[in-house]
Each structure stands twice: as C-alpha cells, then as structure tokens.
Amino acid sequence: MADKPNWQKVFKQEFHVVNGVKTAVLRAGHGDPLVFFHGGGIFHGFDFAVPWTEHFDVVIPYHPGFGDSGDIPDLGDMHDYVLHYLELFDQLGFPGKIRLVGFSMGGWMAAEFAMEHRRRVEKLVLIAPAGLRVQEHPGEDLFRIPPEQMPSYLVHDLNVILPHLPKEPDADFLAARYRESTTLARIMWEKPFSIRMQQWLFRINVPTLIVWGENDRILPVAQSQSWAKLIGGAVVKTFSKAGHLVLDESTTAVRAVSDFLT
C-alpha cells in the first residue's frame, strides 16, 4: 500500500469525548450533514464516501470499539450506540434533522436510531442492513465464517478488497479484526438480530431507501423485501454484480444514495 487511499486524503479526523469515551470522527465536505454508520469491519476504508462530500457535510464516526475510537466499558446492546450517538449529535450541534446512512451492522444501528428518534432524521438509507430476523431468508451467522473465507463472503469480485488485505500474516491486522469481532460479540453473540424491530420499525415514517447487492452472500437480497414491508413507503434498489460491500462494488449504488438524499 504505497499510496494513501483517497478517503484518507479527503477526510479529516477529529476527536470528541462522548460520556467519557474517545470518539474519532471523520469529516469532509459542505452542506447538510450526512452521517454514515459503518459496518462491523472497517478494513476496506471509506473510498465510496468521497463522492458524497461534493454535496454534503459527510460525518463518519468510528463506533466505540472500532478504529481510533475507545471502548464503551459495559457495551451490551444496540441501545448503547443509540444513546452514544444522541449525545454525539448534540455535541456536534446537529439540533435538527440529519441524513442518516447505515451499512450492515451500521444499518441495524441506523434503523434502531430512526425507529426511536424519527424526529431527528430527515432521510434514511439502509444499506444491506443487519439486525432483522428473516426466517424465510436467513442471513449467514458472521461468527461462523472462518477468517480465510471472509473476503469471498463480502464481495462479488475479490479484486475489490484484495488491496485492503495484508499479503503476509499480520498480527496488527488480525488484532484489529479481533477487537471488532469482540465488539460485535458484545452486541450480537447471543442473537444477531433485534426482535423489537419487527414490532416497531413501522414508526419510521421518513423517506427511506433500502440498498442491496444482488450477490450478497451474508445477508440475502431477498431480505430487502421484509424491510420494505415493515417500513411504510420505503424504496428498494438492488445492484447487480455486487456483494455485501455493495458501496465498494457499485458506483451506481453510491450515486443512488446521494441522489436520494439530495
């Protein structure tokens, strides 16, 4: 990796302290705030978010337990993150509504946030969100996937993520992934979904876009219909030749997000 990836040149990292927890926030661009909740692994970076900075003040916080953010000592469920972000948004001076985009585990987080605090959300984009129990189309249990097989689960075209993976065994890389999976375990070892979403997703009454890669091997694209059924008026867009990391694999998907939010 000779060259810094593009997103590292564009985004500036700032730090906030949220209820005692150091929180790293990537930020770039101007306009209305667009908050992106990342998924359960951040090794593939945020190149996909660069085009959004042309239209929005793009804010990408590292969730506690990821990247340069600290840990929430007693992290126990998704609600801890909802509270963390209510507090961070107050600190960032977002009194009004935000455009909220969440991917995978971050999609689950965004959905819970919007379901509970719909008045703080202008528009919502859920990208291959986790967290819904869909018995007809069950997702793969992340913890069952051996690390060496994970890349092929994440993408349709392996070339998309090879540059982000170490070529030799790398203890730092492995330890960073171990920290992430430890954080995920605190949220979803017992069950990788939140049963209350079935009951309460109807409360999301803001314009919602659901984005999915048609070749998603972790959360099957058919789950998009269950989300659409529960969130009134939600629009579903699926993208061909794209796996779970749909934003990394499809520039059309990236554009669809900003078009929807504009």
Binding residues for another protein (CB under 8 A): 143, 146-147, 169, 171-172, 174-175, 178-179, 181-182, 184-186, 189-190
At 161, list the tokens. Answer: 């993520």
- At 141, the amino acid letter reads D
CB 36 within 8 A of CB 241: no
Q: Give me the least distance between CB of 184 and another protein, in Å please.
A: 7
HSE, CB side, 13 Å, CA atoms: give it for residue 43. 23
Q: Give me the least distance between CB of 87 and another protein, in Å please.
A: 23
Which CB atom, from 136 or from 190, has the smaller least distance to another protein?
190
Which CB atom, from 180 or from 216, has the smaller least distance to another protein?
180
Dihedral, CA of residue 40, residue 43, residue 47 and residue 48, to nearest 10: -30
Which CB atom, from 118 or from 133, has the smaller least distance to another protein?
133
Which CB atom, from 147 or from 163, has the smaller least distance to another protein?
147
Q: Give me the least distance between CB of 181 and another protein, in Å please.
A: 4
Which CB atom, from 145 or from 228, has the smaller least distance to another protein?
145
Q: Give me the least distance between CB of 191 and another protein, in Å please.
A: 9
Q: Give me the least distance between CB of 75 and another protein, in Å please.
A: 9
CB 261 within 8 A of CB 123: yes
Q: What is the DSSP string of 29-61?
A: --SSEEEEE--S--TT-SGGGGGGGGTSEEEEE
CB 225 within 8 A of CB 195: no
